[in-house]
Structure 1
């Protein structure tokens, strides 16, 4: 304590430091929460995009190319195509539908 009976500058600064450290911990925890939420939202967006898209796996050796639903575990990890492009692909003689995910379901093939 100071001679006048109040709180000393040292005690005030210690209290301020404690409060600032508490605020910093709280802010860092909030940042972690927001980062987790952002990653979850990104994964949900990617899943939604995959569920509404298709992919073409390039032609196998002496085989045909394969059309997959966008969320098929056997599909390549790149290159979504649209609903219209998937319909066109299924009408191509050298592209077959995946026998695992059955991407032709829900597509109106001409």
Structure 2
């Protein structure tokens, strides 16, 4: 029973993380970075925003 509860808790945390967006503001000569959220297509289409190379929010959007 505890395992089912832990799995449900992990699923909820993943769902919450996917609904969140974080944009790292532009700094000096670098561009702003978009970090993983549920759907990042809109923000990725904005000028001056690139996907974060660590969390790669564009993954899964190209298929």
Count residues with an aligned counterpart. 55
- Which structure would you say has the larger Rg? 1
TM-score for the superposition, normalised by structure 1: 0.39
- The aligned runs of 1:1-110 (5 Å cut-off) are 45-70=12-37, 83=39, 86-107=40-61
Structure 2: give runs of 5+ residues left out of the alignment: 1-8
Higher relative CO (Cα under 8 Å, sequence separation at least 6) belongs to: 2
| C-alpha RMSD over aligned residues | 2.5
Judging by fraction of residues, say which structure has more helix: 1
Structure 1: give runs of 5+ residues left out of the alignment: 1-40, 71-81
